[in-house]
Structure 1
Amino acid sequence: MTNPLLYWLWLAERPGCSAKLAHRLLHAFGSPEAIWRADREQLAAADSLSRAKLDALADKDLTYARRIADDCARLHIDIVTADAEQYPRQLLDLSDAPLVLYVRGTLPDFEEQLTISVVGTRRATPYGLRAARYFAGNLAQRGCIIVSGMARGIDGEAHRAALEAGNVTVAVLGCGVDVCYPWQHEQLMQRIIRQGAVISEYPPGTEPAARHFPARNRIITGLSRGTLVVEAPKKSGAMISADLALEQGRDVFAVPGDINRPNSAGCNACIREGGAALVQTPGDILACYAHPRQPGAPRARKPDVRQEEQLHLDSPEVFAAAPRTMRTLEGGEPERTVWQAVHSGRHTVDEIVNETALPASDVLTALTILEVGGYVLRVGEGFCAADDVQLPQQTNEEPNLG
């Protein structure tokens, strides 16, 4: 007798067949096994299918499904199908809910705890990193599950803050859960597995691909009651997540940023256009969920200040300081070159070497000098430019020769 799990894996991996189509077929036939047993005529009668889709569904070979199941058993990866008790109920609201989730770690009870996704740019500024840590850490301390994508920048900082707060965090990947992307987050990934879960809809061994990330974003937002956009340019994956959250009927919150920084343009535009509620403290988010929302009631948008005051949350001064006096970078040409590379978003040593064309030894020496001087900050496996630093102003004046 064939293990029913294999039919789920077979259906999830039909080439050219989307999750939406699979759910329509499940509605028509009742189970993956019934779809697997259906002939071409029965399949064609159930849905409007192209020849390529019919060919894919008419291929009844379970070899690849068995290989996936064997790989998961060998790698200690759990397989959670859409009909399983452990499957997050929130995802079933989606017309394109993943048929299968691959899990390392332990899935939390998303219905018992408020789940907030925290998203933002990979090329985060120090302001954005501090904001991510402030919001994610405080929300985690108050029992919220933090969901993000384990990318560099905002995602990674949100996961770290949740872990340090002692609560659960969930990373949703655009690759297999046995593949660490970015590779610099290997230690972070292991911490998340121990204290939460790393999940994906892609089977083991799947390498990251650009097309995977918009698809995985729907899972990040779908798991969450609300999505917080911390820092994001107008055209970015984080803004795709915000749009997805709104389409899914979830709440969207955004941290306002510097009007002169492209990294904050997405958040500021989302607030201005009414797509997101402006938040300045974690209490702004928690106040929206102080009372259960009744079915059919409008989604939360404006926090209740009185409720926020009762929560006694930490002051936003931890990341939103008063106007600062800018410091001028002191150092030689290598330090200025390396600092400019870091400031432009090159965070790792390899990225800085590629950007500057300096020898790795020179880059490492310059980074040490810059870090000692407080001009760059070490963040995870990379560096970020301090936001109160400016380069020396160059002058074009003729020298005074007397």
Structure 2
Amino acid sequence: MSVTLAEFPLRPASNREPLLRLLLAGGPRASRRRLLESPGLPPGIELAARMAAVPRAVLVRCEAWLDQAGHHLLAWDDPRYPPLLRQCPDAPLGLFVAGDPDLLWRPALAVVGSRSASAGGRDNARDFSRAFCRAGLVVASGMAAGIDGAAHEAALDSGGTTIAVLGTGPDLPYPRHHARLMERVAAQGAVVSEHPPGTPPRAQNFPGRNRIIAGLALGTLVVEAALRSGALITARLAAEYGREVFAVPGSIHQPQARGCHRLIREGAQLVEQPLEVLEGIAGLAGRLALALEPDVAPEGASAGGTETAPPLSADHQRLWRALGHDPIPMDVLVERTGLTPASLSSMLLAMELDGRVVAEHGRYARRSTAGASAA
């Protein structure tokens, strides 16, 4: 089989097959990522054989899913691929996304915890998630029962945005009773999976799901967790990626609090209210924004966003003029500035973390206290 990726990164819908075969071939990520970064290179014999062995039925299912409105495939070299996740050494080569892929650029906090959560734990997940959404952050979680579901529902009910990362294909809710919740997330946020449509729940897929949650977020909050819990995997990965880890303490008699207590002993920040989490990510948020790419954040902006920045670049000035004090959707900003959604998302992320811009329900506006310094 002769395979070429030279047509990419444009990847018209009529020619997705080489990319799908590469993403679904399995095997070492490094060799496949090298092909994405240098599409003129031919695959080795072993990789070409794995690409040829991808079942036709799987390709047809993927194509049919991607042909539906609101469905996307973000490969490693796609400019829309989330930059914070790209920094992780084991980031997936591709993401199937149902909903708004631009949300993956927005600053997010992961809220995770026990599937068999207590009533108090679910209340805490809701309270923290609502507060994060009011602060303009996206809530990321894993669509599981218990804490995850409560976090997603609270974000949606409060008018905020949320990202659900699945261990199944992007078309299969797990647990099944979250089918309606998954529909709401896709309509108001984004459903994300590295697995192709039709992939059933398999135990080995969920640790990988947890690494994506940790990689997308500035920090991970564990609300409740037993000593053997997937939430602890997410927290450990977040720490390995250099992100902040927070844990809500509980009763010493509550088994679902023991995982949180272990995290606190190991260095996680003990938090009792959402403001403590927001303060905990402030410095990291600024540093990560500046690290995304040299021209994403205005040069000279401090990690906390408190210093006066020098004049903005031409593109930043164009974006600033397009913004007003009334929230504006992304498509209007694209029309006003002539810039791509990916470029706008990166600039808006930096300006939001720097305190210049506020995001509300997918719309952007100047933050009233930032006008003087940004001008």
Global fold match (TM > 0.5): yes
Change (3 A) 1:188 1:273: same
Check the 8 A contact 2:139/2:161 in 1, yes or no. yes
What runs of 5+ residues in structure 1 fail to find an aligned partner?
Answer: 41-52, 298-306, 308-402
Instruction: Give, in angstroms, the shift of residue 260 of structure 1.
Output: 0.9
Match of 2:97 in 1: 103
Letter in structure 1 aligned against 2:166: L
Out of 235, 238, 245, the position equivalent to 1:242 is 235
Distance 1:30 1:84 in 2: 9
Deviations 1:308-362 (A, max 9, x none): xxxxxxxxxxxxxxxxxxxxxxxxxxxxxxxxxxxxxxxxxxxxxxxxxxxxxxx
- After superposition, the CA RMSD in angstroms is 2.7
Amino acid at match of 2:227: K
The 3 A distance-change label for structure 1 pair 154 and 82 is: same
Q: Please state whether the residue corresponding to 2:186 is helix, strand or coil.
A: helix
The residue number in structure 1 matching 2:332 is none
Q: CA deviation at 1:39?
A: 4.1
Aligned to 1:22: 29
How does 1:285-364 map onto structure 2 within 5 Å? 285-291=277-283, 293-294=286-287
My pick for the range that moved more, 73-82 or 165-174, is 73-82
1:84 to 50, 69, 78: 78
| Offset, 1:178 | 1.0
CA distance in 2, matches of 1:142, 1:54: 46
- Structure 1 window deviating more from structure 2 (205-214 vs 79-88): it is 79-88
Shift of the alpha carbon at 1:32? 7.1
Structure 1 residue 154: Cα displacement: 0.1
**1:265 Cα offset (Å):** 0.3
Query: Which residue pairs with 1:228 in the alignment?
Result: 221
- Aligned partner of 2:310 in structure 1 is none
Q: Deviations over 1:13-48 (max 9, x none)?
A: 114x1xxx2234533x5647545x3343xxxxxxxx
Paired residue type of 2:43: A
CA displacement 1:252-311 (0-9 Å, x = unmatched): 00000111111110001110121x10001100011123455447x9xxxxxxxxx9xxxx
Paired residues of 2:75 and 2:95 also in contact (CA < 8 A):
yes
- Whether 2:140 is the aligned partner of 1:129: answer no
State whether structure 2 residue 6 is matched by structure 1 residue 12. Answer: no
With over 3 angstroms needed to count, the CA separation of the structure-2 counterparts of 1:10 and 1:260, relative to structure 1, is same
Alignment partners' CA distance in 1, 2:168 and 2:176: 12
2 CA distance for matches of 1:25 and 1:78?
20
Is 2:64 aligned against 1:71? yes
- Count of residues in correspondence between the two structures: 278
CA separation of 1:25 and 1:108: change in aligned 2, threshold 3 A: closer
CA displacement at 1:184 relative to structure 2: 0.8
Which runs of no fewer than 5 residues in structure 2 stay unpaired?
Answer: 291-303, 305-375
**Residue 115 of structure 1 contacts residue 144 of structure 1 at CA under 8 Å; is this kept in 2?**
yes
Q: How far apart, in 2, do the equivalents of 1:219 and 1:238 lie?
A: 13
TM-score normalised by structure 1 residue count: 0.64
Distance 1:118 1:193, change over 3 A: same
Q: TM-score, normalised by structure 2?
A: 0.68
